[in-house]
Structure 1
Amino acid sequence: MKTKLLVAACASALSQSSNRLVLIPEGQFSGLDGRPHDAPYWNLTAERGRQIALALNNRAIDLVIDYEHGTLKSQTDGKPAPASGWIKSFEYVEGVGLCSSDFNWTAQAQGFIDAEEYKYLSPVFSYTPQGDITGLLCVALTNTPNLDELPALLAAAAQDLFIQNSNNEDDLMPEFLKLMLKKLGLAENATEQEVLTAANSFFAKVDAAGFGTELAKEQTLNAAVDAVIVSKTAANHQQQPDPSKFVPIAVVSGLQAQIATLTANSNKTEVDTLYTAACSNGQLLGDDMQAWGRKLADEQPEEFKKFVASAPKIAALNGKQTDGANVAANNQQQQENKHTPEALHVANLMGVELGATA
Structure 2
Amino acid sequence: MKKTPLLAAIALAACSFDLQAPAEGNIITLQVTPAGQFKPRDGREMKVPSWNINTALATAVVQRFAAKKTPPVVDYEHQTLWKEENGQPAPAAGFFRSLEWREGEGLFAQVELTARAKQYIADGEYRYFSPVFMFDPVTGDVLDVQMGALTNNPAIDGMQALSERAAATFQLSIDHPNEELLVNPLLKAVLAALGLAETTTEEQAVAALTAHTTDLGSLRKQLGLDDTAACSAMVAACTGLKAKAATAVDPAKHVPVTVVDELKGEIAALTARLGERDDKDLESEIKAALDDGRLHKSMEPWARELGKSNRASLTAYLGAAKPIPALRGSQTNGEPPVPDEKTGLTPDELAVCSAMNITAEAFKAAKEA
TM bracket (short chain): 0.3 to 0.5
Bigger relative CO (Cα 8 Å, ≥ 6 apart): 2
Give the structure with higher Rg (CA).
2
Name the TM-score, length of structure 1 as normaliser. 0.43
